[in-house]
Amino acid sequence: MTRLTSDDIKETPVVSKLDTELKNIVGTTLLGVASNTIPGMTGDFDFKNLKAGVVPITSGEGVIRGFSESVKAISEYLGMEAFVTNSPDVGGIAEAMSKGADIIFMADDYEFIAYNLKTGVYSNNTIATAKGYISALELAMGTFENNEVLVIGAGRVGTVAVEILSKKCSKVFVTDIDCTRAENLASKYPNVYCVKNIEEAVRSNMNILDASPGLIDGEWVQKGAIISAPGIPYAFDKKGEDKAKIIIHDPLSIGVSAMAVLSARDEYF
Ligand code: PYL
């Protein structure tokens, strides 16, 4: 999993910028994309004034400057009251509970979770990011029915994305710099196919979920391609951006928004 840097997220607190971009390219807001991760959900999820506590975690490589503040800004933008605890780690969890947080956000170097203190429901960033970017791709494509999607990257997000997309699309292609990883993943599903060569995979697919840290040569991108790209760092050059119809990317907000919706619900699904 690629670790974010404070530079990656320096613009994240200006959530309105991404919101406007999403409205222009997929026709709905950040909250709309997150709400669309819930099967059968119509309209926007109502956070009913839930309160979010964001707890900085100092373990491992420690705190990322701006990370907790970004999660707070995203939570507020979605309609929640939110605060960053003064204390980190266990003290911060205790502080969040004493301040009446309904949902606690916390991330170490391996897991980023949102835990609903009231219902016991929790979401993690890997699953939520896959669901959030699949939601955005679905809104951009119109429908997955009888459609094919290429997933680049058989890592944590890509693996979840392939599993979900295998149930929605007629065919899913998966490619990874580690062919064995892609082949193992494809072998689990009857309608998922491994494409060994990443260039060939990109050149032959119009609908792409890019969950890899690798750069994609714009020469490979098909004109009119629809690309949903959770991968960090951002993978596309000017040529790719000019040829694609849509490229959806942000370092944190779509994942956190999906975490918020998925943990604010009354039951896990
Ligand atoms: C959640 C992000 C998405 C991609 N990579 C993940 C990452 O960078 N994880 C590390 C998060 C560390 C947060 C730090 C803090 O500021 O509390 N412990």
Q: Which residues on adjacent β-strands are paired with residue 82?
A: 52
125 lines ligand 1 (CB under 6 A): yes
Question: Which atom of ligand 1 lies at the shortest distance from residue 255's CA?
Answer: 3
Q: Which residues on adjacent β-strands are paired with residue 193?
A: 173
pLDDT digit string (tens) for 68-91? 999 999 999 999 999 999 999 999
- What residue has token string 């020469």? 219
> Pocket of ligand 1, candidates 2, 3, 6, 71: which has the most ligand atoms within 8 Å of its Cβ, to mutate?
3
β-pairing, 122-124 with 112-116?
antiparallel
Helix (H), strand (E) counts: the chain: 10, 11
Both tokens of residue 74?
A: 């995203």
What lies within 8 Å, CB to CB, of 168 at 6+ separation is 134, 138, 144, 145
64 lines ligand 1 (CB under 6 A): yes
Question: Which atom of ligand 1 lies at the shortest distance from residue 252's CA?
Answer: 3
How many of the other CB atoms lie within 10 Å of CB of 31? 21
Residue 265: what pLDDT?
82
Q: Phi and psi for 35 in degrees, rounded to 5?
A: -65, -30
Both tokens of residue 233?
A: 């760092």
Residue type, 220: W
156 lines ligand 1 (CB under 6 A): no
Instruction: Report, as ranges of residue numbers, the positions in the chain whose pLDDT lies below 70.
Output: 266-269
Residue 49: what pLDDT?
83
81 lines ligand 1 (CB under 6 A): no
Residue 267: what pLDDT?
58
Whole-number Å distance, alpha carbon 113 to ligand 1 midpoint, is 10
Whole-number Å distance, alpha carbon 242 to ligand 1 midpoint, is 31
Question: Which atom of ligand 1 lies at the shortest distance from residue 68's CA?
Answer: 16
pTM over 0.85: yes
Q: Which residues on adjacent β-strands are paired with residue 215?
A: none
Question: Which atom of ligand 1 lies at the shortest distance from residue 1's CA?
Answer: 5
Distance CA(260)–CA(54), nearest Å, equals 12
pLDDT digit string (tens) for 206-231? 999 999 999 999 999 999 999 999 99
Residue 266: what pLDDT?
67
Phi/psi region, residue 192 (left: phi>0; alpha: psi -120 to 50; beta: rest), is beta
Phi/psi region, residue 231 (left: phi>0; alpha: psi -120 to 50; beta: rest), is beta
Distances (CA, A) of 68 to 1, 75, 102, 139, 182: 19, 11, 17, 29, 34
